[in-house]
Amino acid sequence: MNIVISQGSEKPIYQQIYDQLSAQILNGSLQSGYMLPPIRQAAIALKVSVITVKKAWESLEREGLIHTTVGKGCFVADFEPKEIKRLRDEQIKRHLLHDLQHYLAMGIPFDELVEMIQSLKEDLCN
Q: Which residues bind to DNA, rule: CB under 7 A?
A: 12-15, 36, 38-41, 47-52, 54-55, 57, 68-74
Q: Choose the binding region for a second copy from 31-39, 40-48, 107-115 (rule: CB under 8 A).
A: 107-115
Nearer to a second copy, 80 or 118 (CB): 118
Answer whether 51's CB lies under 8 Å from 9's CB. Answer: no
14 or 79: CB nearest DNA:
14
Shortest CB 98 distance to DNA, Å = 18
> Between vectors from CA 66 to CA 5 and to CA 74, what angle results, nearest 5°?
80
* Residue 44 within binding range of a second copy, rule CB under 8 A: no
Using the Cα atoms of residue 20, residue 26, residue 27 and residue 30 in order, give the sign of their dihedral: positive
Work out what residue 60 binds among a second copy, DNA, none; the CB cut-off runs from 5 to 8 Å by kind.
none
Starting at the earlier edge strand, list the strands of the sheet with 66-69.
Answer: 35-36, 73-76, 66-69
Residue 23 near which of DNA, a second copy, none (CB within 5-8 Å, type-dependent): a second copy
The answer to whether 7 touches 48, Cβ cutoff 8 Å, is no
